[in-house]
Structure 1
Amino acid sequence: MTVIAVFNQKGGVGKTTTTANLAAAMARNGMAPLAIDLDPQAHLTTLSGLKPRVERTVYSFFHSQTPLSELVTELPNQVNLIPAHMELAKVDMLLSQNRRDLRRLKKAMQDEMLAAGGTPVLIDCCPMLGVLSLSALMAADVVLVPVTAEYLAMNGAQQLDQTLNGLTAMGLHRPRKVFINRYQRGHITSEHVAAELAHRYGRDFCRTRVFESQSVMEGSGKNQDVFSYAPDSESAEDFSYLLDELIESQFIRTGH
């Protein structure tokens, strides 16, 4: 199954809500996803309603070599989560950016067979390009890039191009898909950004647009994904369509 890094070098583009709701869509399709919160802000963990002790989070993997599989919590929506803690911010001081340290996450996932048996893995990345994000990009098979319908977010996606090109130069090519998030129908900026992204990324730009929605925000405030909070909403439909497109394009592979 596919390991997906959800990443953009600009904050506030919806990486966490994308991870949470795409994982929920997978769970509703019987895919038993694993989500890893690799952001020291721990927003995915908070959104999931968890307040774990630091030793029960992914920080313990980096600090104490705790096996990843011992840190998994099953959520009520059937998503498995490895939570984060603010102490995760210390990882950049604990580890260097040499290839051995950056491969620790990938090696552990392989050794523990966390992506085996048809299990998709989504990694919610922090926007800073340090040890954590580079570890996620090394571990990932593909990179999913949410871009909000605003010009600054589009610039963040362009910075990511440079990062992925750098990985390709190191022999670590990572296919990507870009999709527009918080899209506003008929809004001039939304339309212009969508057109620019479609031109820039071509086949790597998703047809599916995730519209601006109160359901996503309200659900997050109640520690629920959009399928749990408002299963008949337009946003639930958007994330279902996004998952379908990613599977149909074989960006997410469902085979063993």
Structure 2
Amino acid sequence: MTIIAVFNQKGGVGKTTATANLAAAMARNGLAPLAIDLDPQAHLTAMSGLKPLAKETIYSFFHEDAALSDLVKQLPNQVNLIPAHMELARVDMLLTQSRRDLRKLKIAMADEMLSSSDTPVLIDCCPMLGVLSLSALMAADVVLVPVTAEYLAMNGAAQLDQTLSGLTAKGLHRPRKVFINRYQRGHPTSEKVAHELTRRYGKDFCRTRVCESQSVLEGVGSNLDVFSFAPDSEGAEDFSYLLDELVESGFIRVGK
């Protein structure tokens, strides 16, 4: 299966909702995904309705060498989640950007056979390019980049391009796919951003456009993914199509 880092160096582009809803789409297709909340804001954890202690979260892995498998919580929608806690913010101060520290997550996933199992893994990254995000990029096979239909989000994607180029120069190439999020059909800015992303990324830009969706927003407010909240909504349809495209293009591998 594939380890996917969901990342953009701009906040507020929908990384968490994309992670939650793609994981839910995978679960509905019988793929038993694992989501890892690697953002100290812990929005993915909160969206899942969990309020764990720091020792029950990914913070314990970095701070106390807890096993990743001991931290997994199964959610009602059959998504497995390793939650986060605000204490995770200390990790960037506790660890360095040495290769040993940055490989800690990658090595643990290999040792616990998470990277070679039938389980797809989605890592919800924080927008800061520190130890946490670099650890996710090191552990990931591919990077999925949500870009909201606004100009500043494209700047964040461009910054990420530079980061990925730096990894490639070090022999750590990470393929990426960009998709437009919160798209509004016919809106001038949305159309201009979609055109520019198509021009800039070509085949690496997803055809699927995830539209601005009230059902997605209301689902978040109810601690539910869009499939649990409104399975027949346009939002659910968009994330289903996005998953289909990512699988059909080979970006996400299904099976060993």
For structure 2, list consecutive stretches of 5 or more residues without a partner in the other structure. Answer: none
Equivalent position of 1:137 in the other structure? 137
Matched, 1:247 2:247: yes
- The 5-angstrom pairing of residues 113-124 of structure 1 reads 113-124=113-124
C-alpha distance in structure 1 between counterparts of 2:83 and 2:139, whole Å: 17
Question: How many residues align structurally?
Answer: 256
1:106-159: CA deviation from partner (whole Å, max 9, x where unpaired): 000000011333110000000000000000000000000000000000111000
C-alpha distance in structure 1 between counterparts of 2:115 and 2:31, whole Å: 12
Q: What secondary structure sits across from 2:4 in the alignment?
A: strand
- The 5-angstrom pairing of residues 49-88 of structure 1 reads 49-88=49-88
C-alpha distance in structure 2 between counterparts of 1:212 and 1:25, whole Å: 18
Q: What secondary structure sits across from 2:124 in the alignment?
A: strand
Identity %: 82
> Cα distance, 1:234 vs. partner?
0.2
Q: What secondary structure sits across from 1:232 in the alignment?
A: coil
CA RMSD of aligned residues (A): 0.5
**Dislocated runs of 4+, deviation >2 Å:** none
C-alpha distance in structure 2 between counterparts of 1:16 and 1:225, whole Å: 11
C-alpha distance in structure 2 between counterparts of 1:176 and 1:101, whole Å: 24
C-alpha distance in structure 1 between counterparts of 2:11 and 2:196, whole Å: 20
Q: What secondary structure sits across from 2:178 in the alignment?
A: strand
1:228-248: CA deviation from partner (whole Å, max 9, x where unpaired): 000000000000000000000
Equivalent position of 2:9 in the other structure? 9
C-alpha distance in structure 1 between counterparts of 2:31 and 2:70, whole Å: 20
1:53-90: CA deviation from partner (whole Å, max 9, x where unpaired): 11000000000000000000000000000000000000
Equivalent position of 2:96 in the other structure? 96
- The 5-angstrom pairing of residues 1-256 of structure 1 reads 1-256=1-256
Which amino acid counterpart does residue 231 of structure 1 have in structure 2?
A: P
Q: What secondary structure sits across from 1:215 in the alignment?
A: helix
Q: What secondary structure sits across from 2:113 in the alignment?
A: coil
C-alpha distance in structure 1 between counterparts of 2:32 and 2:116, whole Å: 11
1:190-233: CA deviation from partner (whole Å, max 9, x where unpaired): 00000000000000000000000110110000000000000000
Which amino acid counterpart does residue 34 of structure 2 have in structure 1?
A: L
C-alpha distance in structure 2 between counterparts of 1:45 and 1:255, whole Å: 27
C-alpha distance in structure 2 between counterparts of 1:93 and 1:190, whole Å: 38
C-alpha distance in structure 1 between counterparts of 2:157 and 2:54, whole Å: 32
C-alpha distance in structure 2 between counterparts of 1:223 and 1:183, whole Å: 23
Which amino acid counterpart does residue 121 of structure 2 have in structure 1?
A: V
> Cα distance, 1:14 vs. partner?
0.1
1:87-106: CA deviation from partner (whole Å, max 9, x where unpaired): 00000111000111000000
C-alpha distance in structure 2 between counterparts of 1:67 and 1:235, whole Å: 35
Which amino acid counterpart does residue 184 of structure 2 have in structure 1?
A: Q
Q: TM-score, normalised by structure 2?
A: 0.99
C-alpha distance in structure 2 between counterparts of 1:210 and 1:164, whole Å: 24
